[in-house]
Amino acid sequence: MTTTMNMQVFFTEIRSNLFGGHLSQGQVDGFNAILAECARETDFDHEQQSYILATAFHESAHTMAAIAEYGLGRGHPYGVIDPVTGKAYYGRGLVQLTWKYNYVTMGKLLGLDLVNHPELALDLVVAAKILVMGMIKGLFAPAAGPLSRYLVEGVLFDWIDARHEVNGTDQETLIAGYAETIYAAMQKALAAAPEPVPVPPLPIPLPVPLPVPVPLPVPIPVLPIPTPTPAPGPDWFASFIIWIINKFRGN
């Protein structure tokens, strides 16, 4: 499956068909943060990515920013201050994470203390992780199952019922339309992506011959130089006797 999109084509399409001709840098940043997280979590299923982006588009009031719920939950049970933490668990982020138990679940999944610090869900990177992981794994509405129950590229196209992942049937047709628009933009961007240049295989290195060991010369044993035996000296006693005999002879 081709996974590289021509992002210029993609943003040109959604600028015209989703944003009415105007697209801010903040909206681009939101798209990029979600797409980066999608690439790590969905194995590049463009249907699922499209629906996740459509959900963020709707839940963020088209800002693609991690925002707090308008009214901060006023008039809703989840907007009441929790007596233990002193926090209210109204909607925050790109998917409007609501209710304390959802903050507990996502906090454990991400290794963040979202219960005592629910404002962390307003960070764009954290919000993108909550959105993508929550929808892919079906954590916001466990009874609805994972997103792959409704959308699998080339197999399932249930844009309507995919809304059960987040909020029942609320605005399901409207969000399905957003998703289809985004998916069409992705298809154009994929078609416009340059073909990847094949990388030639690395040459197989020739085996390097091992050096032939050179035998070390056999050392020639060095014989010890014999010490010369001194020649025997004259026998002094015999000489003495000869001298005495000569003396008596008168020599």
What is the model's pLDDT at position 2? Answer: 44
Tokens of 102: 């959802």
Partners of residue 93 on adjacent β-strands:
67
Name, in order, each residue with C-beta under 8 angstroms of 241's C-beta and a sequence gap of 6 or more. none
Digit-by-digit pLDDT tens for the chain (251 residues) are: 446 889 999 999 999 999 999 999 999 999 999 999 988 875 668 999 999 999 999 999 999 999 999 999 899 999 999 999 999 999 999 999 999 999 999 999 999 999 999 999 999 999 999 999 999 999 999 899 899 999 988 888 899 999 999 999 999 999 999 999 999 999 999 998 776 667 677 777 767 777 777 677 767 766 666 665 555 555 666 676 776 777 777 65
pTM summary value: 0.75
Please determine, looking at this structure, whether the domain spanning 7-191 carries the CATH number 1.10.530.10.
yes
Q: What pLDDT is recorded for position 25?
A: 95
Rounded Cα distance, 162 and 144, in Å: 9
User: How confident is the model at residue 3, as a pLDDT?
Assistant: 67
Range 47-50, long-range pairs (CB < 8 A, 24+ positions): 47/151, 47/152, 47/153, 47/156, 47/157, 47/183, 48/135, 48/136, 48/147, 48/148, 48/151, 48/152, 48/153, 49/186, 50/179, 50/180, 50/182, 50/183, 50/186
Domain-by-domain residue ranges, the chain?
7-191
**DSSP letter, residue 146:** -
Q: Tell me the one-letter amino acid at 187.
A: Q
Write down the pLDDT at residue 37.
92
